[in-house]
Amino acid sequence: MKVPMSWLRRYLETAADAEAIAAALTRLGLEVEGISNPAEALRPFTIARVLTAAPHPQADRLQVLAVDTGAGEAVQVVCGAPNARAGLVGVFAPPGTHVPGSDLTLKVAAIRGVESRGMMCSARELGLGEDHEGIIALPEDAPVGVPYARWAGFDDPVIEVAVTPNRQDCMGIFGIARDLAAAGLGTLRTPQVPALEARFPCPVRVAIADADGCPAFFARALCGVRNGPSPRWLKDLLEKAGLRPVSALVDVTNYFAIGLGRPLHVYDIAKLEGGLVARRARAGETLHALNGRTYTLDETMCVIADEVAVHDIGGIMGGMASGVSEATTDVLVEAAWFNPARIGATGRALGITSDARARFERGVDPAFVGPGLEMAVAMMRALCGGEVSEAVHVGQPPALDRVIAFDPATTRRLSGLDVPAAEQRALLERLGFAVGDDWAVGVPSWRRDVEGPADLVEEVVRLVGLDRLASVPLPRAAGVARPVATPGQLLERRVRRALAARGLAEAVTWSFIAEAEAEAFGGGAHRLVNPLSAELAVMRPSLLPGLASAAARNMARGERSVRLFELGRRYLAEGERVTAGLLLAGEAAPRHWKTGKARAFDAFDAKAAVLAALAAAGAPVERLSVRQPGPAWYHPGRSAELLLGKAVLGVFGELHPARCGDLGAVAAAEVFLDVVPASRGKRTAFQPSALMPVRRDFAFLVPATLAAETLLRAVEAADRVLIAEVELFDRFTGPGVPEGQVSLAVGVTLQPRAKTLAEADLAQVSAAIEAAAAKVGAVLRG
Amino acid sequence: MSEDADALRARFLAELDRAETAEAVEAVRVAALGKSGAVTALLKSLGGLAPDERIRVAPVFQALRDALANAVEQKKGVLAAAALEARLAAERLDMSLPVPPEPLGSIHPISRVMDELAEIFADLGFAVAEGPEIEDDWHNFTALNIPPEHPARAMHDTFYIGGDGAGRVLRTHTSPVQIRTMTGGRPPIRIIAPGRVYRSDSDATHTPMFHQVEGLVIDRDTHMGQLRWTLETFVKAFFGVDDVVLRLRPSFFPFTEPSVEVDVGCSWEGGRLQIGGSGSWLEILGAGMVHPKVIANCGLDPAAWQGFAFGCGIDRLAMLKYGMTDLRAFFDADLRWLRHHGFGALDVPTLSGGIGA
């Protein structure tokens, strides 16, 4: 809300300047968004009198003036204005002045051989209008030497205030003045309510059919008006506050809305058909509103209508048809009270923001409906003439009879601030609260936001000033701080750092993706009703679509190798699941003198990353099994799930080419962190064997369809005591290996514990390994 | 006989001196000390000597044997060293050749800042709490004293989730975690709740998804002075600046009363933000005493329990501390940006190592 200082001063007697007022507003919780003063640019322009005007010796159209600027010696100015003459009082700019209307800076210059030390200005040169016929001519008695803007009343800073949604009372400048006065910045001037002499009954019948939407509809008619432009002072105030003056009757309604937070509406009685009623709109009814747009209404909305048509979206915007014009002679002035919730809903549904809505939505003072009407009608009559009808009061605004039992000790308990009870009482009373001897605090009608003791504490605290609030340490537990991270949080941290340590960059991508992307990766379970775009419409069932899009963007920027991961949630029908997703695209290794050609990523890169992540998470990776293939969005032959028992801890593989566009071979994986069992973290005793380990190699022929893991598990199980490690070190097909078979070479490490292994022991273990392998279809190569 | 020994010594030493290969040295050794070597023969001859004579010459022969054996070993060593030197010289490589590149991973600034927050607040006794991002209407709004007609519930701010079980939204703030913490446990409570939040907003400074951190302290007599201290302590630690001045301005949030907005004093020397001093003010967070209705909505007695809550944008904290200028880049996964603004895997914020940049 724009608050011109001159308007504020109508309600607040104060010596404070705009800066002091702004600082106080900030302390009070009325956020100052800025201070502007149109006079700033006109600061150097002063009032000056032309003493003499002589013809220029070299130019017919120019004159040489001697100007009294009030600074002593007369200044010589060359001037081309036809109205320049001795005795004229005008506006002078000295050299060095920036002239806003022509955007140039004055210099001492010789004009046709005669020195000119400044300029007498036109209105256009000051940026104050288009008048460039001549220089500004002021009244004879305008004070020479005084800054022109101050004298002309332009020097009026405007403070832009952002009023929080709870402060209904500060939606009028008067309410802001009341806060400032309470904070000690001046004396509040409360406008008087005039006594109106009614000459006749109200000629328009007024009724309420929607008492929920419009509990009160007060009105008076003013007949025989002459509606024309407002006086200069009113136009100036409205313009400074950012409003466009329209006509005196309309300007008065705006003056009350902005000045006193009391929106009003005026109807041209000649354009009404019968009486007015506040009722629910009928579905499909339309109104051509004052902003030039036509709105289609429904039965949730409260409107003011006559017997034929809707004339006002109650409390939001009036209609064009019954609006006042210069030809208007008889008007009905409406002061109503509309249901704030209904106003908000209607305003949002229709997408209308207006000064009236902003006020009714917060709730206007229910005790000021009648007085506001009286004051406005009186002002209209003063400006436009006419005779006043009797007042019609239909319904009653819901009164705010709120009394809060308050203990002044609550202020210290909640805020930590020590404010003596007497001071608290005085502060609250200055804000209009009625404080009883027993500390029963009556809430003023304009503060429906104040509901309980905590609100009163806030009132006291903001008037006292939060700068008085001292810092008090929170009590601290003895000793060093205890660890507070949960196992899940620790797990996430470890996985994040493990993946980053492996060379992957952590990304954060949108939680919502396009429907088609979700469909390609398992299907979305949660759809946004009101997405920003089709690309951000479905909660992701997988982290991979987001990472794949990110990889594509990076490749398009020329990246040759993309390694990305993200820790975030998947949003499934059964709930939100914390997941680590990773995606590898482009080159796994670049071409290099040492390693040769570039290598593309494959499924085993993803598998290695997943195992590293799971190991970091504390999962027993040695006990995981592989189940091929993975979900449909992976390569059917190059993907798998990683299981611990029956639980799927992760999925990895190459992405299905149909699901990842032009990215080429893409390896990806997801680790389901919420399924990873909590690491026991128990340390076992260190028991190294004193005996040398023994290594033996075995080469087996196995069916090509046999999973290598099956053979390795079988070999491990051949002797649980002696066999410490089994590694697959070669896999071969080709000459010497029958069709449909593959040669797998396995290295076995035997760790004796009690005694050195004899040949017989070794033979026994070897036989057991061969037998175990044979059971899964593996034959020892001869 | 000892004259023979001297002659043999001189001869074999000379031959050893001339030997240039391991094979030549070995030939000298065999000729002198081998089974049929000359020195071996001398030693064998001792058996045939008279005892007096044997006692006299035996040490001479043995000394000859030892001297020659030593000389052979020494010569072998010299030759081996020369051979090794020659081999190594032949093995020279260009050490300026570049090594294969190793990929450098990074931690996203948001994760980094969340870790910093957890570290700072852990020291103050705060745990990290979590909650769902798809929330119900009650936790996101009603319990937080946001009435049904409140503009925040309007379509233009909140993302609604369709399907059955209507009334679900993407949480618009982390405040519902307050509710879940208070309804799920007993005070005293000290938590922070970082996480993703969503608003239907997208322009140069807003993204439809961003990150917030919520703080909540509930106890018997927790008050605003302690709120101020907590925030000051946090801001000092987070920005690594001792000269931190906070300005609390009264404000309005439905879920706190009294409510404040908190500005931090800063300066803009050379267009670069410096936290500290009180030359300019930068709004960094909103806070207040938890509204009695909110406490009551969680099943606690507001006459017995009170406390404060605060909330601020994590992305914004990251931008202020680490100098990013475009919020949208946080969610673009541009590797150039991630490499530039990300943090190393081993760069873990700790109180002993420092939280600051």
Supply the CATH number for residue A586's domain.
3.30.930.10
pLDDT digits (tens, 9 = 90+) for A224-244: 999 999 999 999 999 999 999
**Gap from A353 CA to chain B (nearest CA, Å):** 13
Residue A167's φ and ψ, nearest 5 degrees, are -90, 75
Q: CA nearest A466 in B: which residue? A: B248
* pLDDT score of A403: 96
Q: Find chain B residues with C-beta within 8 A of A673's C-beta.
A: none
* Residues B106, A505: C-beta atoms closer than 8 Å: yes
* Chain A interface test: which of B102, B107, B158 (most A C-beta within 10 Å): B107
8 A C-beta contact, residue A348 and residue A298: no
B331 in a structural domain:
yes
Rounded Cα–Cα distance for residues A576 and A579 (Å): 9
* pLDDT score of B43: 87
Q: Are strands A561-572 and A505-506 parallel, antiparallel or unpaired?
A: parallel
**Residues B114, B63 within the same domain:** no
**Residues A247, A283 within the same domain:** yes
Nearest to B208 among A474, A532, A550 (CB): A532
**Gap from B280 CA to chain A (nearest CA, Å):** 13
CB atoms within 10 A of CB B274: 16
Sorting pLDDT into bands at 50, 70 and 90, what band is A281? Answer: very high
pLDDT digits (tens, 9 = 90+) for B153-178: 765 688 999 876 668 999 999 999 99
Q: Find chain B residues with C-beta within 8 A of A471's C-beta.
A: 225, 228-229, 232
The three-state secondary structure class of A140 is coil
Rounded Cα–Cα distance for residues A417 and B256 (Å): 17
Q: Is the confidence at residue A554, as pLDDT, over 80?
A: yes
Number of domains in chain A: 6
Q: What is the CATH number of the domain that holds A78?
A: 2.40.50.140
**Residues A419, A452 within the same domain:** yes
**Residues B271, B321 within the same domain:** yes
B349 in a structural domain:
no
B172 in a structural domain:
yes
Q: CA nearest B157 in A: which residue? A: A530
**Gap from B220 CA to chain A (nearest CA, Å):** 10
Q: Which amino acid makes up residue B203? A: D
* Residues A506, B107: C-beta atoms closer than 8 Å: yes
B346 in a structural domain:
no
* Residues B132, A557: C-beta atoms closer than 8 Å: no
Rounded Cα–Cα distance for residues B216 and B300 (Å): 15
Starting at the earlier edge strand, list the strands of the sheet with A63-68. A75-79, A63-68, A46-55, A89-93, A119-120
CB atoms within 10 A of CB A655: 30
Nearest to A526 among B161, B252, B289 (CB): B161
Nearest to A473 among B151, B163, B229 (CB): B229
Domain that holds residue B31: 2-90
A478 in a structural domain:
no
* Residues B103, A503: C-beta atoms closer than 8 Å: yes
How many CB pairs below 8 Å do chains A and B form together?
Answer: 253
Number of domains in chain B: 2
A292: Cβ contacts below 8 Å, ≥ 6 apart? A320
**Residues B81, B220 within the same domain:** no
Measure Cα distances from A139 to A47, A124, A151, A154 in Å.
Answer: 11, 19, 12, 17
A687 in a structural domain:
no
**Gap from B43 CA to chain A (nearest CA, Å):** 45
Buried b (16+ CB within 10 A) or exposed e, A96-128: ebebbbbeeebeeeebeebebbbbbbbbbbbeb
Summary count for chain B: helices (H), strands (E) = 11, 11
| Mean pLDDT within A258-268 | 96
**Residues A765, A731 within the same domain:** yes
Nearest to A511 among B98, B133, B229 (CB): B133
Q: Find chain A residues with C-beta within 8 A of B200's C-beta.
A: 530, 532
Nearest to A415 among B118, B132, B258 (CB): B258
* Residues A417, B108: C-beta atoms closer than 8 Å: no
* pLDDT score of A99: 87
DSSP secondary structure of B233-245: HHHHHHHT-S---
* Residues B97, A457: C-beta atoms closer than 8 Å: no
* pLDDT score of A60: 85
Q: Are strands A625-627 and A206-208 parallel, antiparallel or unpaired?
A: unpaired
8 A C-beta contact, residue A703 and residue A749: no
Nearest to A454 among B208, B258, B338 (CB): B258
Q: Are strands A109-111 and A575-589 parallel, antiparallel or unpaired?
A: unpaired
Q: Find chain B residues with C-beta within 8 A of A503's C-beta.
A: 102-105
B126 in a structural domain:
yes
* Residues A489, B128: C-beta atoms closer than 8 Å: yes
**Gap from A432 CA to chain B (nearest CA, Å):** 19
A689 in a structural domain:
no
8 A C-beta contact, residue B13 and residue B25: no
**Residues B160, B81 within the same domain:** no
DSSP secondary structure of A497-549: HHHHHTTPEE----SEE-HHHHHHTT--S-BBSS-SSGGG-EE-S-SHHHHHH
Which residue numbers in chain B have pLDDT < 70? Answer: 1-3, 149, 151-152, 154-156, 164-166, 356-357
Q: Find chain A residues with C-beta within 8 A of B97's C-beta.
A: 593-594
Q: Find chain A residues with C-beta within 8 A of B118's C-beta.
A: 484-485, 489
**Residues A239, A355 within the same domain:** yes
The token duo for B80 is 């081996």
pLDDT digits (tens, 9 = 90+) for A598-611: 999 999 999 999 99
* pLDDT score of B53: 87
**Residues A627, A747 within the same domain:** no
* pLDDT score of B154: 64
**Residues B252, B320 within the same domain:** yes
pTM of the model: 0.86
* Chain B interface test: which of A506, A544, A577 (most B C-beta within 10 Å): A506
A684 in a structural domain:
no
Q: Is the confidence at residue A287, as pLDDT, over 60?
A: yes
Domain that holds residue A321: 206-395
**Residues B115, B228 within the same domain:** yes
* pLDDT score of A679: 74
DSSP secondary structure of B172-215: SSSTHHHHHHHHHS-S-EEEEEEEEEE-S--BTTB-SEEEEEEE
**Residues A160, A17 within the same domain:** yes
Question: Count of alpha carbons within 13 Å of A30, Cβ hemisphere only?
Answer: 29
Q: What is the CATH number of the domain that holds B127?
A: 3.30.930.10
* pLDDT score of A359: 95
**Gap from B109 CA to chain A (nearest CA, Å):** 9
Q: Is the confidence at residue A254, as pLDDT, over 90?
A: yes
Q: CA nearest A501 in B: which residue? A: B345
* Residues B163, A526: C-beta atoms closer than 8 Å: yes
Sheet strands (E) in A194-342: 206-208, 216-223, 265-268, 276-280, 286-288, 294-296, 302-305, 310-313, 317-318, 330-337
* pLDDT score of A150: 83
A479 in a structural domain:
no
Q: Find chain A residues with C-beta within 8 A of B94's C-beta.
A: none
Q: CA nearest A26 in B: which residue? A: B249
Q: Find chain A residues with C-beta within 8 A of B261's C-beta.
A: 31
Q: Find chain B residues with C-beta within 8 A of A424's C-beta.
A: none
**Residues A130, A162 within the same domain:** no
**Residues B180, B210 within the same domain:** yes
* Residues B106, A506: C-beta atoms closer than 8 Å: yes
* Residues B333, A454: C-beta atoms closer than 8 Å: no
Average pLDDT, chain A: 93
**Residues B202, B263 within the same domain:** yes
**Residues B131, B30 within the same domain:** no
Distance of CA A666 to the CA centre of its chain: 38
8 A C-beta contact, residue B137 and residue B148: no
* pLDDT score of A134: 85
* pLDDT score of B268: 86
Rounded Cα–Cα distance for residues A13 and A130 (Å): 36
A198 in a structural domain:
no
CB atoms within 10 A of CB A487: 12
* pLDDT score of B357: 55
Rounded Cα–Cα distance for residues B253 and B118 (Å): 25
**Residues B75, B127 within the same domain:** no
**Residues A499, A537 within the same domain:** yes
8 A C-beta contact, residue A208 and residue A217: yes
**Residues A145, A68 within the same domain:** yes
Name which of A224, A354, A379, A372 is nearest A289 in CA terms.
A354
* pLDDT score of A533: 94
**Residues A16, A123 within the same domain:** no
Rounded Cα–Cα distance for residues A360 and B43 (Å): 128
Q: CA nearest B117 in A: which residue? A: A485
Name which of A649, A576, A676, A513 is nearest B130 in CA terms.
A576
* Residues B334, A553: C-beta atoms closer than 8 Å: yes
Sorting pLDDT into bands at 50, 70 and 90, what band is A593? Answer: very high
**Residues B85, B192 within the same domain:** no
**Residues A380, A415 within the same domain:** no
B17: Cβ contacts below 8 Å, ≥ 6 apart? none
B356 in a structural domain:
no
8 A C-beta contact, residue A58 and residue A114: yes
* Residues A481, B125: C-beta atoms closer than 8 Å: yes
**Residues B181, B272 within the same domain:** yes
Q: CA nearest B259 in A: which residue? A: A458
Sorting pLDDT into bands at 50, 70 and 90, what band is A568? Answer: very high
